[in-house]
Amino acid sequence: MVNDPRTIFPKVDPPQQIQAEPGLDIKLEPLADIGLDSYQGHNRLAGRKALITGGDSGIGAAVAIAYAREGADVAISYLPEEQPDADRVIAAIEEAGRTAFAYPGDLKDADYCRELVEKSVAALGGLDILVNNASRQIWAEGLTEISDEQFDLTMRTNLHGSFRVTKAALAHLKPGASIIFTSSIQAYEPSPTLLDYAMTKAAMNNLSKGLAAELTPKGIRVNSVAPGPIWTPLQPSHGQPQEKVAGFGQQAPLGRAGHPVELAGAYVFLASDEASYVSGETLGATGGSPTP
């Protein structure tokens, strides 16, 4: 059976809606598909140990659920305010018969970044896969409207957090391990309202390629995924102007925004032995918008 990619998942047609930052998946209208009922595993990550930052909602939640159903034990990080979303993901990991570990905290805190890795390794018994996914996205009407405080918060969350978590993880990663960054189409086509966020995504893309040059000869692969418009709590929690929340993503060539579960397979592929010859690459999942 062949499925039309324009209609295989429901078209996201959200009304205008506002959530307080950082937002919750369970309050989205409509709800995003994170794979709870739709993702079927095939044992491609059996016995592996994964840490996913921002694993409570959106893309991170979909990846956590997919990894568990592919046979991996999974640790997730998230902000304390996101506990209701995290509880749902932890339950799904455990229902898949895998070990789950949840450690709330703020990636802007250097000590938390190091503790997250150490506690995750202790809870899971090792670390084979690191997914740097957590990000902060707050829109502003151009560069002059981005306050120093907002700029600093975005840099510290997206870049400092990913840098510190990765640095701490390296002590535990062995040949065969995989590091994956969540970049964005914003790294290539920055929106005028998301300049600071777009900067961080370009930087993550660059870091993944530089780190691949260092680690691939040691048997550790490093790659990125660059999503297009994906319906997540980032969007209504001040990640987009309200006029862009309504009808979000319908400008994509496929005519709709993506659901987080539609990216899960990309992260599974890059973490699995199926991608044994893939390192230093960025896999675009943009709904048809070309990337370099």
What is the per-residue pLDDT across 123-133, written as a single tens digit (0 to 9) for each?
A: 999 999 999 99
Give residues with Cβ within 8 angstroms of 181, minimum separation 6.
131, 132, 162, 204, 205, 207, 208, 222, 223, 224, 225
In this structure, are residues 133 and 53 in contact, taking their beta carbons and an 8 Å threshold? yes
In a domain, 79, yes or no: yes
- Tell me if 120 sits within 8 A of 51, measured CB to CB: yes
Whether residue 244 has pLDDT greater than 90: no
Question: Number of folded domains in the chain?
Answer: 1
29 domain-assigned: no
Whether residue 2 is contained in a domain is answered as no
Q: What is the pLDDT of residue 122?
A: 98
Please indicate, yes or no, if residue 234 is contained in any of the structural domains.
Answer: yes
How sure is the predictor about 292, in pLDDT bands with cuts at 50, 70 and 90?
Answer: confident
Residue 37 has pLDDT above 90, yes or no: yes
pLDDT band at 232 (very low <50, low <70, confident <90, very high): very high
pLDDT value of residue 53:
98
16 located within any domain: no
| pLDDT mean over 31-40 | 96
The enclosing domain of 71 has a CATH number of 3.40.50.720
Q: Give pLDDT, residue 245.
A: 86
Q: What percent of the chain has pLDDT over 70?
A: 100
**Is residue 150 a part of any domain in this protein?**
yes
Structural domain containing residue 203: 43-284
Q: Is residue 21 in a domain?
A: no
Range 100-110 burial, b when 16+ CB lie within 10 A, else e? bbbbbbebbee
Active site residues: 197
Q: Is residue 201 part of a domain?
A: yes
